[in-house]
Structures are given as C-alpha cells and as structure tokens.
Amino acid sequence: MIDKELLEILACPVCKTPVVEREERLVCTQCGRRYPIRDGIPVMLADEAEPGDAGAGSPGG
C-alpha cells in the first residue's frame, strides 16, 4: 500500500493527471495507464505502464 501523502503528489508521467491505487498498480484517472508497484515502490515509467482505457482509473470505473 502506497503512503497517502505520496499518492497525493504522484501523477501519470504521460498525461500529468492524478493516479489512484488499484490492487498492485497505480492507475491514471485520465488515460487509464497502469503502473506497477514493485516491493512497495511505484514504477512511474511510461515504458513500464500497461495501456488502459481512458477514464478507467476514475472512481466507479
């Protein structure tokens, strides 16, 4: 689990919008890219992201 304060400052490196934690990934609230969390450390690299559906990270999405 990512620290709440850290999660508040993290943003998708591609579209610069907030991310939310979903299972073992951080999901962009705009483009839906999924960034892995390895050993408790978010890997916020565009090359490491899994493609996603736009809006997939939004609450209820």
Q: What is the pLDDT of residue 37?
A: 96
DSSP 46: G
- The yes or no reply on domain 4-48 and CATH 3.30.565.10 is no
What Å distances lie between residue 16 and 25, 44, 57, CA to CA?
17, 11, 14
Mean pLDDT score of the chain, rounded to an integer? 89
Find the angle CA(56)-CA(59)-CA(61) to the nearest 5 degrees.
Answer: 35
Q: What is the pLDDT of residue 52?
A: 85
Domain locations along the chain? 4-48
Is the four-CA dihedral 4, 6, 7, 8 of positive or negative sign? positive
pTM confidence score: 0.83
